[in-house]
Structure 1
């Protein structure tokens, strides 16, 4: 499994208990187990949930599923 797939899988797993839709960036961060400090790692690559705000825009919301969140973050993070 490559970095992109591994990070994607970790994001989906971290949001497994979230109640969708997530309407705001604050709701998204709150849905992660450790909030903004939730960290996904693959090899030397590390991505914190708080860093997602750098790649998301208001038009990305609402998110309807963990898969949707992971798709957007992984695509925009340039993995």
Structure 2
């Protein structure tokens, strides 16, 4: 599994119990198990929810699924 795929899967896993749609960045952070401190790590790559939030735009919301969140984050983070 590539680093990109592993991080993607970890983001989806972190949001498995989230209630969608998620309408705001604050709702997204609240849905993460450890809030902004939630970490995804694969190989030498580490990404926190706070880091991920820096690549999201207001126009990305609302998110309809964990997969959609993961797709946007890994694409924008350049993974």
Q: Which TM-score applies when normalising by structure 2?
A: 0.98
Q: Partner of 2:73 in structure 1?
A: 73
**Aligned positions, number:** 79
Tell me how far apart the structure 2 counterparts of residues 14 and 53 of structure 1 sit (CA, whole Å). Answer: 14
Structure 1, unmatched stretches of 5+, are none
Are 2:44 and 1:44 aligned?
yes
Structure 2, unmatched stretches of 5+, are none
Q: Partner of 2:57 in structure 1?
A: 57
Give the CA RMSD over aligned residues: 0.4
SS in 1 for 2:47: strand
Are 2:45 and 1:35 aligned?
no
